[in-house]
Amino acid sequence: MFGSVVNKLAAAVRRLLSPYAVGSFEPALAYDFVNGTYRTNNTTQSPEAAFTHTRSGNATMVDSDGLLKWGPHNLLTYSEDFSSWSVNVNATVASDATSAPDGSLTADKVTLTSDSFSGVRQTADIEAEAYSYRVWVKADTATSIALYVLQQGAASWTATIDLSTGVITDVGAGITAQLIESTSDGWLLVEASRTFTAAANNHIFGVA
């Protein structure tokens, strides 16, 4: 009888432990890529919450192709504050006007009063290499928006995004554009990429 009670207790203990336990030890960190389960501090998390990384500067990394490369890093300043970008006279920016995709009150509202490059832009001092530009966008009163990635101000490299469907059209020669992610509340993460053929300090990234 005593042995039966012990066996039942052991079974109950096993049921309380996760499949990632070793003996009676429950690991605080477990990444199960096969089953899509990610745990930190013994709590199941989304992949975005489970994988975080910060550093004070740029660094190299070994990419999936086995080559040593610079790790991805943001070359644009004030990436969460369009009011600090160059704002066209035919546009206005309301800072922190609504909730961003991560739930924080950091999303800016850009209002355009003209269709002719009337948005926000920022110049970048970059090398003659391939670069990608990503931005979260969401419809308010506009039905579409354009991303532009311009080499030294040349205005032909733009892409138009339908804010209700995420469909991308009017992609200019020399760039590629794609929808990366969408959320249930209407946010779209869109990307435009191009290979710059000249190193310069007046390449332009923007939204119009």
61 in a domain, yes or no? no
Q: How far is CA 68 from CA 59, 60, 61, 62, 63, in A?
A: 10, 7, 6, 4, 6
Examine the domain organization and report whether 27 and 77 are in the same domain. Answer: no
| Mean pLDDT (whole number) for 78-98 | 91
Examine the domain organization and report whether 183 and 95 are in the same domain. Answer: yes
| Mean pLDDT (whole number) for 70-94 | 88
59 in a domain, yes or no? no
Examine the domain organization and report whether 36 and 72 are in the same domain. Answer: no
Examine the domain organization and report whether 41 and 103 are in the same domain. Answer: no
58 in a domain, yes or no? no
**pLDDT of 5 over the 70 cut:** no
Examine the domain organization and report whether 36 and 91 are in the same domain. Answer: no
Task: Kindly indicate the confidence band of residue 93, based on its pLDDT and cuts at 50, 70 and 90.
Answer: very high
94 in a domain, yes or no? yes
**pLDDT of 132 over the 70 cut:** yes
Provide φ and ψ at 14, rounded to 5°.
-60, -35
Q: Are strands 175-182 and 188-195 parallel, antiparallel or unpaired?
A: antiparallel
- Rounded CA-CA distance 146/137 in Å is 10
Examine the domain organization and report whether 110 and 190 are in the same domain. Answer: yes
122 in a domain, yes or no? yes
Query: Higher-confidence residue: 101 or 73?
Result: 101
**pLDDT of 1 over the 80 cut:** no
198 in a domain, yes or no? yes
80 in a domain, yes or no? yes
Closest CA to 179 of 190, 165, 167, 194: 190
Q: What is the DSSP letter of 22?
A: B
85 in a domain, yes or no? yes
- Rounded CA-CA distance 20/9 in Å is 20
Number of domains in the chain: 2
State the residue range of the domain holding 37: 2-50
Bridge partner list, 32: 37
- Rounded CA-CA distance 126/9 in Å is 64
Task: Kindly indicate the confidence band of residue 173, based on its pLDDT and cuts at 50, 70 and 90.
Answer: confident
Examine the domain organization and report whether 83 and 117 are in the same domain. Answer: yes
Task: Kindly indicate the confidence band of residue 156, based on its pLDDT and cuts at 50, 70 and 90.
Answer: low
Give CA angle at 38 (34, 43), nearest 5°. Answer: 145
Question: Which pair of tokens denotes residue 35?
Answer: 């089953």
204 Cβ contact partners less than 8 Å away, ≥ 6 residues apart: 121, 122, 123, 124, 148, 149, 150, 153
CATH number, position 78: 2.60.120
Examine the domain organization and report whether 23 and 83 are in the same domain. Answer: no
